[in-house]
């Protein structure tokens, strides 16, 4: 399966700023988003340091989505576990 065809089939909040994801190729990844969030100077990103907002992600069309595409990540980054 090509990387760009991979999608997230399940996503669950775990603890802190971590989300466990299962992908359509049957691999799993747990990502801690805290370093990414803390490293950003953008108010649109920093607002997700509020755990209440962070936990309200949705799984839409096989990708994580916060508040109508306010915050999303490339599937390849999520699949590799490395946020850029």
The CATH number of residue 46's host domain is 3.30.2020.10
Q: Compute the average pLDDT of residues 60-68.
A: 93
Q: Which region, left, alpha or beta, applies to residue 72 given φ > 0 means left and ψ of -120 to 50 means alpha?
A: beta
Mean pLDDT of 44-54: 96
**pLDDT > 50? residue 16:** yes
pLDDT higher than 50, residue 1: no
pLDDT of residue 4: 52
Q: Which domain holds residue 56?
A: 3-80
Number of domains in the chain: 1
CA distances from 32 to 4, 20, 45 (A): 22, 9, 15
Reading phi first (left if > 0) and then psi (alpha if -120 to 50, else beta), residue 55 is in alpha
């Amino acid at each position: 399966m090509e990387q760009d065809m991979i999608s997230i089939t399940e996503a669950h909040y775990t603890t802190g700023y971590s989300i466990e994801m299962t992908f359509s190729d049957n691999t799993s990844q747990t990502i801690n988003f805290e370093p990414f969030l803390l490293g950003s100077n953008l108010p649109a990103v920093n607002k997700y340091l509020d755990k209440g907002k962070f936990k309200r992600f949705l799984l839409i069309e096989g990708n994580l989505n916060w508040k109508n595409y306010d915050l999303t990540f490339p599937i390849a980054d999520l699949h590799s576990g490395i946020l850029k």
